Structure 1
Amino acid sequence: MGLALAGAPLAAQQDSPAALAETALAQFDAAHEKLEAAQSATDRVKALTGVVQAYEEGLEAMRAGLRQVSLREAEIAREFEDESGQVAALLGILINLKPDASPEALVHPDGPLGQARAGMLVSSVTPAMQAQAEDLRVKLQEVQILRELQDEALQTLSRGLSEVQRARTELSQAMSDRTDLPHRFTTDPERMQTLIDSSATLEAFASGLAVMDVVDGIAPLPSFKEDMGNWPMPAPGRLVRSYEEEDGAGVARPGWLWATRPLTLVTTPWPATVRYKGPFLDYGNVIVLEPANDVLLVLAGLDEVYGDVGAVVPAGTAVGLMGGASPDLDDFVENAVQGTGAALSETLYIEIREGGKPVNPERWFANAPL
């Protein structure tokens, strides 16, 4: 790309909107290379999971870059408007003060002395005017660079929005085709359906699932006693409602409500057995993972869920996808520039149960949003 702010200090270049935009473009290029490499990867699920996450990071960087570019361009426009008025006023004064060598000026009451003073004043102001003109030239050059970056970003963004959707589709298919995961048990569909039908709440369903007998198979789960509190979040986002915090209707749930962007990939933070996946009541799709005996991780509100019941999935494995619609190019740019819309509009419910009882998720996740 090679676009840099000429004459700007290195530190300022690194923190500039142009640098942010270039970073976003580089992340999209890296994601594109990962997508091409995933076609021949031995573990396509792992490769495609990395591709989707790379694109999600690139989209976040692109939002930040476009927003900062827009803000900087607006700032320069305001500076132009302010300075143009000052320059016009100063030029008017200088025109009136310009030296006049006509015979009439010599007999003016101010005489030659006034003309000399005017000339000295013009000479002293000239360097400042030149410096101001150079400053304006640099800013005009910066505006040109920002607009070139915007044009390049739009081309890359158009390709990125299309490719991330392609990667999500291929990941869903790869998960459906996967047969290489070990299984700890096989589920009894009739018993599972009976539990679903008899459970009036998600809490009742999770409690019943926790005590449902299973036959252990060949794949014991790793111990995580030393790693308790170090789990990464299942998806990027922010906390909307904490453990047992009441909502607007006065209902308190024993878990976190976590806001994400549309179509965000959800991954398991730890190796776990899939105990259940599918729709439940009004929670949307739910997946229940068992990272250890007597511990369940409940994730609800997904649009799609991946995996087979009884399978053991490694940490970082995609287990679902949030709902919502992918923004088109115009919507993405408008929302990024204005800093609105297409935001954290989807909600993931996160609940952890130990010994059949819910506990505060902050015990498990690193950098928990207390």
Structure 2
Amino acid sequence: MRSAGLMAAVLALAGPAAAAATATPEDLTTAAARLESAGAALAAARGAEDRTAPLVAAIGAYEEALARLRGVVIGAGAREREITLELAERRGEIMRLTAALQTMSRVPPPAQMMHPAGPLAAARAGAVLARLTPALQAEAADLAATLREIETARVLQREGIADLASGLAALEAARDQLGGAIAGRGAMDPPEAALRAGRDAETLTALAAALARQPGGGGAEAAAAGDWLWPVRGRVLAGFKAPDASGARRPGLLLGAPALSLVEAPSDAMVRYAAPFLEYGYVVVLEADDGTLIVLAGLAQLAVSAGAPVARGELLGLLGGRNLEVEEYVMLPDADAGAGALETLYIEVRHGGGPVDPAPWFAGENG
């Protein structure tokens, strides 16, 4: 037996893979296909007369495909580390046995059958070797499978990272195009009453209260309470009247979401206010048909104007932030909730004359 083959047999004592791979070539193929579909959607959006809706769909497709790819890359890396640690834990035993078997391999087969205690002892030694050889072959096969799994994991990581890099670049281009499409729409002149409310109010709550006192805008029929869409996908950083990072208790929710997240209308409504407000960036106030007001604060770019109707799920604007490099996207701990670099969106709901807890109005858990 050659030294390299002998080493392979001995390394097999570290055992076969302890668990099924967390990422497979099929996973990578599926994610890459989704990325390709997102690219086709982006190409189709460029030729659309109104590019906003198809660009939003393409961005959503990219984000989903990239999240799947990220899972493949992280899973492959985790599996490679797991197998490597399994082998490392048996390193001392492996090295000692390797030395012994290398010594045996240098002894010619006829000499292996000789024994100083005589023919009977030689026969017994031969029987032991006969039983040992198939066991070593089985261990070598197990090790070969383990080593192939390590190589598969490494290939998945390399190819997945390459796909992530190209996908993130395409996602950045799609976001740029969406920004251009939004800017090209032009903004409607907001009602004077809404502008006055924005100038006079000193807090978001005061702004919402002032708008609530004005005549309604004929809001669209809203989804029932408990059926609203979350405007962004993220996590609740501060609940209703819970202290935020600064210790302030606000009558709304503070959501953390990935940079440049699309902000969507929770329900069919009328836009009562859409403009910058104090330190909150852009603020959008929506009114449903029953007079319920939804305040969304913290947008970096607007896609709607005051006085316009919006449908449930329609784009309202984007959060701020920057595009991530591939290394950041892979290494930071939680891409679905901002990959460690959260932007924030504040939500306040006024119903029945005052602020209420927004959480029960939304369908399911966020994130």
Which range, TM-score by smaller chain?
0.7 to 0.9
Contact conserved, 1:66 with 1:336, CA < 8 A, in 2?
Answer: no
Contact conserved, 2:113 with 2:122, CA < 8 A, in 1?
Answer: no
Residue 8 of structure 2 is matched in structure 1 by none
Task: Check 1:232–1:194 CA distance in 2 against 1; reply closer, same or farther (3 A cut).
Answer: closer
Residue 64 of structure 2 aligns to a residue in which SS?
helix
Listed as ranges, the matches of 1:131-210 within 5 Å are 131-178=138-185, 187-189=190-192, 191-210=193-212
Contact conserved, 2:191 with 2:307, CA < 8 A, in 1?
Answer: no
- Structure 2 regions of 5+ residues with no counterpart? 1-15
Contact conserved, 2:272 with 2:287, CA < 8 A, in 1?
Answer: yes
Contact conserved, 1:245 with 1:252, CA < 8 A, in 2?
Answer: yes
Task: Check 1:196–1:293 CA distance in 2 against 1; reply closer, same or farther (3 A cut).
Answer: same
Alignment partners' CA distance in 1, 2:197 and 2:113: 108
Alignment partners' CA distance in 1, 2:335 and 2:355: 40
Q: Select which of 328, 346, 362 maps to 1:365.
A: 362
Note the C-alpha offset of 1:223: 4.6
Deviation track 1:266-302 (CA, whole Å, cap 9, x = no partner) reads 1112222111112212222211112323111111112
Task: Check 1:274–1:141 CA distance in 2 against 1; reply closer, same or farther (3 A cut).
Answer: same
Residue 46 of structure 1 aligns to a residue in which SS?
helix
Alignment partners' CA distance in 2, 1:312 and 1:341: 30
- Structure 1 regions of 5+ residues with no counterpart? 1-7
Alignment partners' CA distance in 2, 1:356 and 1:273: 18
Contact conserved, 1:18 with 1:69, CA < 8 A, in 2?
Answer: no
The one-letter amino acid of 1:349's match is Y
Deviation track 1:211-256 (CA, whole Å, cap 9, x = no partner) reads 122565xxx61253xx321222111111211111123544211111
Alignment partners' CA distance in 2, 1:57 and 1:358: 34
Alignment partners' CA distance in 2, 1:222 and 1:214: 13
Residue 327 of structure 1 is matched in structure 2 by 324
Matched, 1:299 2:296: yes
Alignment partners' CA distance in 1, 2:234 and 2:246: 24
The one-letter amino acid of 1:270's match is S
Q: Select which of 174, 189, 211 maps to 2:213.
A: 211
Residue 254 of structure 2 is matched in structure 1 by 257
The one-letter amino acid of 1:201's match is T
The one-letter amino acid of 1:266's match is V
Task: Check 1:212–1:88 CA distance in 2 against 1; reply closer, same or farther (3 A cut).
Answer: same
Contact conserved, 2:301 with 2:319, CA < 8 A, in 1?
Answer: yes
Contact conserved, 1:335 with 1:341, CA < 8 A, in 2?
Answer: no
Deviates more, 1:279-288 or 1:96-105: 96-105
Alignment partners' CA distance in 2, 1:356 and 1:288: 15
Note the C-alpha offset of 1:81: 2.7
Listed as ranges, the matches of 1:1-370 within 5 Å are 16-41=23-48, 43-83=50-90, 85-94=92-101, 108=116, 110-178=117-185, 187-189=190-192, 191-214=193-216, 216=218, 221-224=220-223, 227-335=224-332, 342-368=339-365
Residue 244 of structure 1 aligns to a residue in which SS?
coil
Contact conserved, 1:67 with 1:339, CA < 8 A, in 2?
Answer: no
Alignment partners' CA distance in 2, 1:153 and 1:62: 6
Deviation track 1:157-184 (CA, whole Å, cap 9, x = no partner) reads 22212221221222223234448x9x9x
The one-letter amino acid of 1:332's match is Y
Note the C-alpha offset of 1:335: 3.2
Contact conserved, 2:257 with 2:338, CA < 8 A, in 1?
Answer: no
Note the C-alpha offset of 1:142: 2.2
Note the C-alpha offset of 1:102: 5.6
Alignment partners' CA distance in 1, 2:93 and 2:301: 60
The one-letter amino acid of 2:210's match is G
Q: Please give the root-mean-square deviation of Cα atoms over the aligned residues, in Å.
A: 3.3
Identity %: 35
**TM-score normalised to structure 2 length:** 0.83
Task: Check 1:32–1:205 CA distance in 2 against 1; reply closer, same or farther (3 A cut).
Answer: same
Deviation track 1:308-367 (CA, whole Å, cap 9, x = no partner) reads 110012222111111111112333344379999833511111121113311112221111
Task: Check 1:141–1:199 CA distance in 2 against 1; reply closer, same or farther (3 A cut).
Answer: same
Residue 269 of structure 1 aligns to a residue in which SS?
coil
